[in-house]
Amino acid sequence: MKRILKYFRIRSKMVTTLVKERVQYPVRLFADSVTVIIRCGILLLLYSYVFKLNHGVINGTTFLFTSWSILFYFLFATTQLKYISRKMMEDVQSGGLEMILTKPISYISYRGWSQFGFGLYSFIVAIAFSVPALWLTVGIPPTMHLAIFIPTLIMTTLLGGMIYVFIYSLVGLCAFWVEDINPIFWIIDKSVMILGGSYLPIALFPSFLYKLAMYSPFGASLFVTHTMYPSWEGEWHRMIIIQVVWIIILGAALYAVYQLAKKKVSVNGG
């Protein structure tokens, strides 16, 4: 128990330090937050017009549910967790990885918590401005009044975040074998964006694409975009189980690849 408490105490200090560091650059923080909010706002205006042209209903859903799904995706994007892969590539290319590996801390854990701390403040700022704005302009779906909504929203966000970090960490570890991981990053990132419901909301997917989003790790990482739809009340159990299964699979894969990467460092004398 003491080891667990010590673990979270160290990580909380790391996150707090990175948040304080992030606050020291308000211009960059403001630019990052505003960019995401503007992109989200433009997309919402576009879909608002499209729904009006279709008498307010597309594929059995309304703009009310779709707007919140889009917002949740963009809020998740403000965490910038996906850039953990590029940080790993920079560590390998600069040689900074060798310094980190000598410390009594897991490199994957260190990078994950660092990235979480880096994006946390932007995430909080984006929530503070965008959620009230959408609430006042569009309203809130009935699903959000359910007793299970907040607990399941938190749970699926945390589990999805773990899947997200595992996916992009696997991409980052490719830097041990591939000099430039950006092409791999782009392919994986676009898969996550499409199946996560970035620019085409989940409710508007055709049947085959919806199933792919449901059962692939790319879609499972962003189940938070499903939480406001009426189907969530009956499907949240299944979706959380899917997330847990992918965490186990990806976690095992990440551990195996990381062990191979460490051996490569040792073989090369790093």
Q: What is the 3-state secondary structure (H, E, C) of 17-77?
A: HHHHHHHCCHHHHHHHHHHHHHHHHHHHHHHHHHHHHCCCEECCEEHHHHHHHHHHHHHHH
Residues 6+ apart with CB under 8 A from 206: none
Question: Looking at the predicted structure, is the pLDDT value of residue 252 above 80?
Answer: yes
Task: Provide the β-strand partners of residue 61.
Answer: 58
CB-CB contact of 12 with 19 (8 Å): no
Task: Provide the β-strand partners of residue 57.
Answer: 62
Q: Specify the pTM.
A: 0.84
Q: What is the pLDDT averaged over residues 190-207?
A: 82
Q: Average pLDDT over the chain, rounded to whole?
A: 81
- Which stretch, 57-61, 113-117, 190-194, has highest mean pLDDT? 190-194
Calpha distance 255→243 (Å, rounded): 18
**C-alpha angle 200-121-214 in degrees, rounded to nearest 5:** 30
Q: For 122-145, give one letter per residue: b (16+ CB within 10 A) or e.
A: bbebbeeebeeebeeebeebebee
Structure tokens at 253: 């894969």
Structure tokens at 210: 């919806």
Question: Looking at the predicted structure, is the pLDDT value of residue 265 above 50?
Answer: yes
State which H helix or E strand residue 169 sits in: helix 149-173
Q: Which of 191, 263, 215, 200 is nearest to 58 (CA)?
A: 200
CB-CB contact of 203 with 65 (8 Å): yes
pLDDT at 241: 95
Radius of gyration for the alpha carbons in the chain, expressed in angstroms and rounded:
20
pLDDT at 32: 66
Q: What is the pLDDT averaged over residues 92-116?
A: 74
